Structure 1
Amino acid sequence: MDMKRYLVKSNQKVSLEDYSTKEDFNLKEEELLDDILPKSIDKLKELHWRLHAEEKRGIVVVLQAMDAAGKDEAISYIFSNLTAQGLKTASFQKPSETELKHDYLWRIREGLPARGQVGILNRSHYEEVIAPKVHEDKLKDEMYPDDMEKDEVWKMRYRQINDFEQHLTENGYKVIKFFFNMSKEEQRQRLLERLKNPEKNWEFSYNDIKERRHWDEYQEAFEAMLSHTSTDFAPWYVLPADDEWYSRYIITEVMVNCLKEIDPQFPELSDEDKEKMKEAIEELENEKN
């Protein structure tokens, strides 16, 4: 798979119309589900074990999308295969009263992974350059400098986010970001499924319909986000999210390639530890039942 097809280059001006929401990947779904994707996940599991054992580096995974684009399902299918001790998941919704009393990046730190972990941000700091841009009433005066016009805030925040992610990178954390590029028609079908299927009613929120009315404004906000914050050290990948299984395959392969670059290794035992292990083996083998 050529990952460059989905990569947003640094300083690239993005139009989502240039990215397909549905991919003709020349694979039978059965082949993808039964063979190719499981093998890719097996590679991811092995590399993740090494990352967790080594405890030197970490990975921050950012997931952003419109509602019903498949973020939760991707997390369940892919990352549930990884060892729980080496995984951290955080979901950021509407800021709480306490969070609003701090800068907008403050709450993100609690969701960041430790060394040896993959941290998944299901929604993230990018909410602060999306929702407030679509709904300007959410951006209060105290959230930006007194001498700054409201329409200048976004350029400032893009820079701040890039600086934040560069700081993470320089301190041993890879940052990988996935945008689920879903078509408006596909979202309509998925929301209808949630409404009509009793087993999926619990997934539906009336707010999804409310936000859907601002579809075009959200697309513009996503395009600006992708254009200004995809960097060489923290790139965005645009997924053809109408194809849920293929999108999961892309995520898995990007993660595998990232871990291969890190090249984590199982820690080597010292001579002292090897001797202690030898003694422990002998004790257990000679133990009487």
Structure 2
Amino acid sequence: MTALNAERLHRFLATCRITDSTSFSLEEHRTDDDGDTGLDKDEGKQALERAVARISDQQERLYADARWSVLCIFQALDAAGKDGAIKHVFSGVNPQGVDVESFGAPSTLERAHDFLWRHQVVMPRRGRIGVHNRSWYEEVLVPRVQPSILQAAPLPAAVVGPQIWDERLEDIAAYERYLARQGVRILKFFLHVGEEEQRKRLLARIDEGAKNWKFEEGDLVVRARRPEYLSAYDAAIRATAAPHAPWYVIPADRKWLARLLVAEAVAGAMESLDLQFPTVSAAARAALLRARDALT
């Protein structure tokens, strides 16, 4: 990747980063946008390898530094490529330093708690990377579009009303602010796939035997209500985008480019933490030298 292409890529990534969302709208973000980076697929894959290597280096420093943790949240409509992005972006990290959690429909136990509870118990410890495939944002997306889910939830009638979505988003924003103040670097990715590209990928899940297991009839239900889900995402991003918890709206029609943009965002965010390997005191260094003498 040339210096010019790298500069264009970073400029493009900056346009994907949402921190001030007063007038945000997904309609302003094309799903097939390539940012005029000048990269082709092969160059993109090579750039991804370099970004993954940077993440691996920073993960080792993160673990040794043991003060920060990193939380990467992935949200998307079906077939947008979350699983593939997670697999490729974190392919070079030490498995001992990363925790990947996938969130489906809440269990009976999870429904017996507040909606943030199941996420709180799996927050990454200091020195670790947490990757959450779906997150607390599901609670302001799915039940908002499908009200029957909220109606069936074990909640007091007094707290269930039109105001619940603004209240939940307010709670999420406050919780993310709290996490940031505790040394959690938060990165939120919305993989924005186009309607036609999504159709092709869902068809592939039906037509290709190796992908049959990925297809669920519920995918079609969600697809049929695409405008409502995108509207819910608009509201969620507007209410929670902040410098300490930015959203990245990633054009996902080109899988290789989406993965590269995510990797660049993660690598850049970790590098900005200025993570350092611990230094030992003079006394500890002297002890190491004595140990060396004993071993030689």
| Residue 97 of structure 1, aligned match among 108, 111, 123 | 108
Partner of 2:30: 20
Percent identity over paired residues: 34
- Report Cα offsets for 1:141-184 as digits up to 9, x if no partner: 87666545622111101100000000100111111100000011
Instruction: Kindly tell me the number of residue pairs found equivalent between the two proteins.
Output: 284
Give, in whole Å, the separation in 2 of the partners of 1:20 and 1:79: 26
| Residue 172 of structure 1, aligned match among 152, 177, 183 | 183
1:262 aligned counterpart, secondary structure: coil
Give, in whole Å, the separation in 2 of the partners of 1:269 and 1:38: 33
Normalising by structure 2, what TM-score?
0.91
1:39 aligned counterpart, secondary structure: helix
Spell out the pairing of 1:93-132 with structure 2 (5 A cutoff): 93-132=104-143
Partner of 1:186: 197
1:242 aligned counterpart, secondary structure: coil
Residue 281 of structure 1: how far off its partner (Å): 3.2
Normalising by structure 1, what TM-score?
0.93
- Report Cα offsets for 1:202-252 as digits up to 9, x if no partner: 222222122212111111111111111111211101000111111111111
Q: Which moved more, 1:141-150 or 1:165-174?
A: 141-150
Shift >4 Å, 4+ stretches: 141-149
Is the 2:110–2:117 contact (alpha carbons within 8 Å) kept by the matching residues of 1?
A: yes
| Residue 226 of structure 1, aligned match among 224, 228, 237 | 237
Q: Which moved more, 1:173-182 or 1:250-259?
A: 250-259
Partner of 1:32: 44
Is the 1:144–1:153 contact (alpha carbons within 8 Å) kept by the matching residues of 2?
A: no
| Distance verdict in 2 for CA 1:149–1:261, change over 3 Å | same
- Report Cα offsets for 1:91-120 as digits up to 9, x if no partner: 111010011111100110122100001111
Structure 1: state its 5+ residue gaps. Answer: none
Give, in whole Å, the separation in 1 of the partners of 2:67 and 2:254: 35
Letter in 1 for 2:88: Y
Partner of 1:11: 21
Spell out the pairing of 1:139-288 with structure 2 (5 A cutoff): 139-140=150-151, 146-147=157-158, 150-284=161-295, 286=296
Give, in whole Å, the separation in 2 of the partners of 1:136 and 1:260: 42
Q: Which moved more, 1:125-134 or 1:72-81?
A: 72-81
Give, in whole Å, the separation in 2 of the partners of 1:94 and 1:133: 14
Partner of 1:54: 65
Is the 2:102–2:132 contact (alpha carbons within 8 Å) kept by the matching residues of 1?
A: yes
Partner of 2:98: 87
Is the 2:52–2:91 contact (alpha carbons within 8 Å) kept by the matching residues of 1?
A: no
Give, in whole Å, the separation in 2 of the partners of 1:42 and 1:80: 9
Is the 1:89–1:111 contact (alpha carbons within 8 Å) kept by the matching residues of 2?
A: no
Give, in whole Å, the separation in 2 of the partners of 1:252 and 1:47: 12
Structure 2: state its 5+ residue gaps. Answer: 1-9
